Structure 1
Amino acid sequence: MRNMSTLLISLALAISFSFAAVAQEEYSSSQIKKYKNGIFEVVTLKLEDKTVYKEAFPHKLIPFHLRNDKYHSLGTAFLIQDNTFVSAAHVFNIGYKSQLSDNFALRDSKGNIFKITNVEKYSNYRDLIQFSVAGDTSPYHEFKIADAYEEGDVIYAAGNAHGEGVIFRKGTLTSFTYEPIDGKWKNIRFSAAASPGNSGGPLLNLAGKVVGIVTMKSSSENLNYAFPIKEFMEFSSERAEFFESQMGEVESTKTLIYSWDFKADLPKEIMALRKIAEKSFYDRFESGRTEFVAKYETDIFPKHENIQKYLMNQSNSENFSIIDINGNGEWLLFEPGEQKEVKIDNKQSMWFSSNDKMIGGYQFFMEKPVDTSLQAFIKNKKNILDTFLTSVKWNMTIAATPVYITSYGEPVYEDNYEDNYGRFWQVAAWHDQYTDRGIMIYCLPTPQGIVCDFITTSTSWLEMQKKNYRINLPRIMLSYTAKLGEWEEFLQLPKEMIPTFLQDAKLDVSEDSVEFDVGAFSGTMKKMKLSVDSNFYVAVEISPENTDKLVVGHISFKPNLYEDGVYSISKLYDLKNNASDSYSDFWQKFTTGTSPYNFEVINEGKTINKYMNLGANGKSPKIVGKRKDDRGYLATCTLQSDVELAEFTSACDAFINGLH
């Protein structure tokens, strides 16, 4: 019996020791309460949402704790000593603009707010930040730093998961892995679950000591990452470290990858640090562009060896199009895709499309309202954007429900920027306070209204896009078409709205004639049935002799918009060795006045046509000028085939003879 009693006692002790071992791997209720008292939310005040929605904003679709909180929850921080906290750098994203960055604070579990003051350690490369707060933190738990940790250790990831309060989730320290850029240290991988909001929280061992700072969640498996606390302790507090390894310039199939490496003295007030880091970042972007141009100047526009071939045979478009090179080294004008028309009302329309070569997601042309002057319409950027938003049914998604936006209010930024061609871009930007995003339009006035590129981006990249867009302006092309009456109003705009190559243009429409002087083209048109409602098209091209200059390369008159019939002049070049076989054949016939370029009547079915080389026929000396060896001017008359031949001949002769 004695032996049996001894055995039972031994078994009982073994079982109790086993349960004790298990218990040691679980936090007790008192531990959780204790540790929770040292973990805070990183928050920032919500902004006043100035967006106007088509219908009342559906607040009920947003979870209760989010819609009733006056703060945004950004992440987690934990206390390590008096008034001193640690978190992940990406929670604050110092170095990049944000609408939410002016009011960073910490909030405890009872809702008490502590304003963040000075940054004492910072590295976006290592994803760490140490900072101080204003206020008394003595009632809160201060976390101790673990002396050692190894694979297989039981750990807890603690943090403000999904912004719904601090929770603790158990797992294992599974391994250590080199940081991906230079392998300067090994990050911790752990198996405890992590959610958005956990960033910056402590990774704790069973003793409640800090092993690491939670930094990143794995997207494909439940192996998450933390920055080792040993590395944090060894990192210098003397200077903040900013580093980006993947900045780059991409243009015309050429790429330059460069890095941003900046350091700033610490400690420093958080907003002061943000301001100097932002400036350094944008300065690096500009210097990166300078490096790119120095390396690839002869491989990009406008100094590429093949650019002259394009400049002497340019395409045109009445919507924003961009000059770029294809994989075969040929320069082309990349035009937008299919345009969709939206009727704003019975007397105003908008057309929008997309061109994946442009920066913006949409390009749109908007007619001015009939009861508004062109100048007033161009100046009212709020109305332009509001009309666009309403027309395309612009929306954001809340709980899988589209919420339609009708206005972002008045612009937060406006500019009138002159590019190297002398075009005056109308620029405006807005903030979407709800999503911390920026909206920007880059526009050019036209005789009919305005053409714009519509851009959306994060607030942090809005400033970058302003700079980036200006780099691309020389490759963005736009030609103009409008009724003669609309042209008259356009040419009367203030000079800061009219491109320099059109500022001296003249257009006078009277009852029986049209007198014009646009670029190199001028004349007096009579007996052609032209009126204020007739269409006048001006094709804009880059001068082959001076790539910083735009010129008028083609004009045409269309007496009646609803009938086939046009009178035009095009400037053409001898492409020499760059010419295709068909162009060489055309050029030989064109310069020698061979049919059909001898002004004979050509019946092409639905239309009848006449073609003339103005120089070869001694017509329009002002237009043709003295250079006739490498260029020519093609005059074309086209009318419907059912027009009497005598009427056609009379109108075409009036056009040719009216040219100066």
Structure 2
Amino acid sequence: MHDLEVILRKTGTMRSAFRRLALLALIGLCGVTAHAASLDPAVLPKIQAATFEVVAAKPVNDPLTYEKPLPLELLPYQERNDKYYSIGTAFALGNNRYVTAAHVLQVGIDSLWGEPALRDAGGHVYAIGKIEKYSLQQDFVVFTLAEQPAAAAALEVNTKPALNEVVYAVGNALGTGVVIRDGLYTSDTPEDQDGRWKWMRFSAAASPGNSGGPLLDKDGKLIGIVLMKSANENLNYALPIGMILNAPDHLAVIDQRVPYQFDVFDTVLSNTLKTQFALPLSFADFSAAFQQRFNAYVDVQLKALLAKEPDKLFPRGAGSNQLLHSMPSMDDFPALITRDNDGTWSLAKKAGGNTTLPNNGYVTPGVVGRNLLFHIRKPDNVTSAQLYGDPSRMMDMLAKVGFLTRTIGPEKVRITSLGKPSQDTLYTDAWQRRWQVRVWPLPAENALVMTFALPVPDGYVVLMRIAGASQQHDYLINLQALTDFFFVTYDGTLAQWQEFLKNPALLPVAFKDIKIDIDYGHRFSYASKRVHLAFTPELQKIEPTSMLTLGFSYFTDHGNVVWDVGDVWLAASAHDQYWVNLSRTTAPSDDLDDSFKSDWNKIVNRQRPFDGVARSENDVMKITSVVGTPADAKQPSTLYTVYHYAEGAHSQAAMKSKLDLLMKGVRVDEH
């Protein structure tokens, strides 16, 4: 994922997707102390006639449902009643040519709002005709209007303004009319990437909405286009107007450094998006041409980033060995596999508290980097088929957490439903797990909610991001790549497992080699190409509420890394501490530390606690042994440890009899 969307890099801002994107983030200018404007009053009508507000139509329909009616009365009158969002300023050059900042017009690319348009002081709105000139790096666009304003007047131009002279920043901010504020033209500074030109720096105040507006000299002549604010001081930046006038006609030029990053490691690519295409084009055709090239760029960047050090990318390289030789995490909250500073790959997750759903359901939220993670334990009265077949039901459960809100003035109103997704597809990751991919629009925010949901026996685990509408392709390919680094445990009651297994189209391919037979009160069996486990109630209760967890993990199998079950855990119930466990272990690689080697040595030699002798820990009796390669075999590579736990105090004989029953039902086929 690139750190800042390309259209926002110059502004130095990237605002939350839960706030109105156009009004704050895409402008990126904040005010400084202003002086009283003192232009000749005779030129003011001409400036007003030549200056326009850039607007985008507000969505007519809102598919979202809120916890209460939106308190729109809290908004200022103008904002509340306006049919348009105000996103910037533009001005007339003459001969049906108009100019604004490139990043202002970019708001319209793949937008959930209407196409950008110009609005004059009288409230008349004019559609864009053709895009004539465009430069991403210099941040300007020249265009025509489909219908010429009758009173449009071109500003006179001065291409050689003097330093330290008074200048005036002009903007039509947020629909409040033309505002003119004065300051000084203080200096020129090279652009950051290669110093190919110099920005004009000036001290005149610029408010949100000034982006794309004219910068005038003391006589009211046009000297530049207002673009952005300095990150560290109260100075604003403009592009000299001569650079716009001298730019090639009928050409869109993109030459911008766009850093690209992927969330599981800290490597960053800082390459340049460099391309061009012919103009004039309608705004729709321009948007398609731009997005096609931008999407192609991010495709290449992601591929290059993942191929940068292939011998160190999980599951390859020494940095992966610790995870490949570790016991599976049996936590039902998912994790991402990320690379630490020392090159070691490990599980990363940060879970929050549960949000309760009816009928024993709950949602656990969490975060890793820029990704939201969730575990949904479905309510008992919702079947797996109902949950997996109804994306609105899933999102309504997630919305219960309360992280989706819409800001109305000082108040945040919870979103309770997003309605139906605009996209609902399947994606299969490198480990042959099948994800349900859904995209929901947030029209008022010009944003999208994207979820990759993986069905599990008790509900879902979900990977989510929220992005601007134009970032859909970029975020989707990132989420697709992240699924290859996703760690998940399959957990649920036996009743939930029976329902889950009835959805073969959504099961990972690994389940083709797994057979689970459940006969309540009589027999349970688990069978795979690696190991068989079977027992009767003589060992432990087998009821609909009994718990089964399959600890899927990544490990090496005959030279190839696979994603498969490394741990089988069954509990008599979710509340009692009676359970059995069968875990796969492998000989550690030479680079692993002594703790791995010590544990492996104990397993191979059946040393405590793997000696079949009962022990008491925290009022739970435990007994453990080993199955697989005989104890006297030389250099075993894979062994299985078996566990039986029982709540309370039990004799050695009783525990040993239970262990014998467990081991009698185990057969290891893996060698």
1:379 corresponds in structure 2 to 389
Distance 1:547 1:392, change over 3 A: farther
- Matching residue within 251, 258, 265 for 1:246: 258
Tell me the secondary structure at the aligned position of residue 441 of structure 2.
Answer: strand
Tell me, which stretches of 5 or more residues in structure 1 are unaligned? 1-24, 620-625
Report the equivalent of 1:13.
none
Pairwise CA distance, 1:579? 4.3
Distance, in Å, in 1 between the alignment partners of 2:168 and 2:628 is: 86
Instruction: Please tell me whether residue 517 in structure 1 is matched to residue 524 in structure 2.
Output: no
Alignment counterpart, residue 214 of structure 2, candidates 202, 205, 213: 202
Q: TM-score, normalised by structure 2?
A: 0.88
Aligned CA RMSD, in angstroms, stands at 2.4
Per-residue CA deviations over 1:38-86 (Å, capped at 9, x if unaligned) read 1111111111332211111011111111111101111111111132111
Distance 1:627 1:469 in 2: 45
Return closer, same or farther for 1:97/1:239 CA change in 2, 3 Å cut-off.
Answer: same
Equivalent position amino acid for 1:466 in 2: L
Q: Within the alignment, does 1:322 sit opposite 2:331 as a pair?
A: no
Q: In structure 2, do the counterparts of structure 1 residues 268 and 46 end up closer, same or farther at CA, with 3 Å as the change threshold?
A: same
Paired residue secondary structure (1:469): helix
Q: 1:278 aligns with which of 274, 286, 291?
A: 291
8 Å Cα contact 2:314-2:345 kept in structure 1: no
Go from structure 1 to structure 2 and tell me whether the alpha carbon gap of 1:62 and 1:547 turns closer, same or farther (over 3 Å shift).
farther
Residue 219 of structure 1 and its aligned partner are, at CA, apart by 5.0
Between stretches 605-614 and 104-113, larger displacement belongs to 605-614
1:654 to 649, 653, 661: 661
SS of the counterpart of 1:486?
helix
Q: Which residue of 2 aligns with 1:538?
A: 550
Corresponding position: 1:186 with 2:195: no
Q: Is the 8 A contact 2:168 2:182 kept in 1?
A: yes
CA contact under 8 A between 2:534 and 2:665: conserved in structure 1?
yes
In structure 1, the partner of 2:32 is none
- Bigger Cα displacement from structure 2, 438-447 vs 384-393: 384-393
Is the 8 Å Cα contact of residues 108 and 116 (structure 2) preserved in structure 1?
no
Farther off after superposition, 546-555 or 561-570: 546-555
Which of 163, 168, 172 aligns to 1:160? It is 172
Q: Is the 8 A contact 2:359 2:381 kept in 1?
A: no
Match of residue 246, structure 2, among 227, 231, 234:
234
| 1:445-489 CA-partner distances (Å, limit 9, x unpaired) | 111111112322222223211001111211111011111121111
Q: Which of residues 600, 606, 625 in structure 1 aligns to 2:613?
A: 600
Q: CA deviation at 1:254?
A: 2.8
Retained in 1: the 8 A contact 2:612–2:656? no
Q: What is the CA distance between 1:311 and its match in structure 2?
A: 0.8
Once residues 557 and 384 of structure 1 are traced to their aligned partners in structure 2, the CA distance between those partners, rounded to angstroms, is 27
Match of 1:65 in 2: 78
- The equivalent position to 1:411 in structure 2, one of 421, 425, 429, is 421
How far did residue 338 of structure 1 move? Answer: 4.2
Counterpart mapping for 1:380-395 below 5 A: 380-392=390-402, 394-395=404-405
| Aligned amino acid, residue 582 of structure 2 | I
Which one is further off, 312-321 or 467-476?
Answer: 312-321
The aligned residue for residue 65 of structure 2 is 52
Residue 328 (structure 1) shift: 2.4
Distance apart, 1:303 and its partner CA: 2.3
The one-letter code sitting in structure 1 at the alignment partner of 2:508 is P
1:468 aligns with 2:482: no
1:265 to 264, 278, 283: 278
Aligned residue among 577, 584, 590 for 2:590: 577
Counterparts of 1:111 and 1:233 in 2: how far apart (Å)? 29
Q: Distance in 1 between matches of 2:356 and 2:174?
A: 43
CA spacing shift, 1:391–1:519, aligned 2, 3 Å: farther
Q: Is the 8 A contact 2:91 2:213 kept in 1?
A: yes
Q: Which residue of 1 aligns with 2:33?
A: none
Pick which of 117-126 and 147-156 moved more. 147-156
Q: CA deviation at 1:132?
A: 0.4
SS at match of 1:42: strand
- Give, in whole Å, the separation in 1 of the partners of 2:301 and 2:190: 28
Which segment drifts farther, 177-186 or 423-432?
Answer: 177-186
1:332 partnered with 2:346: yes
Deviation, structure 1 residue 645:
5.3
Point out 4+ residue stretches in structure 1 off by more than 6 angstroms.
none
**Post-superposition shift, 1:352?**
2.1
Contact (CA 8 Å) 1:508, 1:516: kept in 2 or not? Answer: yes
CA offset at residue 600 of structure 1? 2.8
Counterpart among 289, 308, 318 of residue 295 in structure 1: 308
Change (3 A) 1:592 1:180: closer
Partner of 2:227: 215
Amino acid in the other structure paired with 1:133: L
Distance 2:344 2:232 in 1: 42
**Is the Cα–Cα contact under 8 Å of residues 446 and 469 in structure 2 kept in the other structure?**
yes
Q: Is the 8 A contact 2:328 2:552 kept in 1?
A: no
- Of all paired residues, the percent bearing the same amino acid is 26
- Give yes or no for contact 2:629–2:638 (8 Å, CA) kept in 1: no
- d(CA) in 2 for partners of 1:147 and 1:472? 50
Structure 1 residues 294 and 153: CA distance shift in structure 2, 3 A = same
Contact preservation (8 Å) 1:158, 1:169: yes
Partner of residue 14, structure 1: none
Paired AA for residue 198 in structure 1: N
Mapped partners of 2:661, 2:247: distance in 1: 83
Moved more, 437-446 or 626-635: 626-635
Residues matched between the structures, number: 624
Structure 1 residue 327: deviation in Å? 2.0
* Partner Cα distance (2:554, 2:112) in 1: 40
CA distance, structure 2, for counterparts of residue 28 and residue 547 of structure 1: 78
| More RCO (CA 8 Å, sep 6+) | 2
**Structure 1-normalised TM-score?**
0.89
Report how far residue 178 of structure 1 moved. Answer: 1.6
C-alpha displacement of 1:155: 2.2
5+ residue gaps, structure 2 = 1-36
Equivalents in 2 of 1:327, 1:223: separation in Å? 38
Aligned residue in 2 for 1:455: 465
Aligned match of 2:647? 640
Could you tell me which residue of structure 1 aligns to residue 497 of structure 2?
Answer: 487
SS of the equivalent of 1:60 reads helix
**Structure of greater Rg:** 1
**Structure 2 counterparts to residues 538-577 of structure 1, below 5 A:** 538-545=550-557, 549-577=562-590
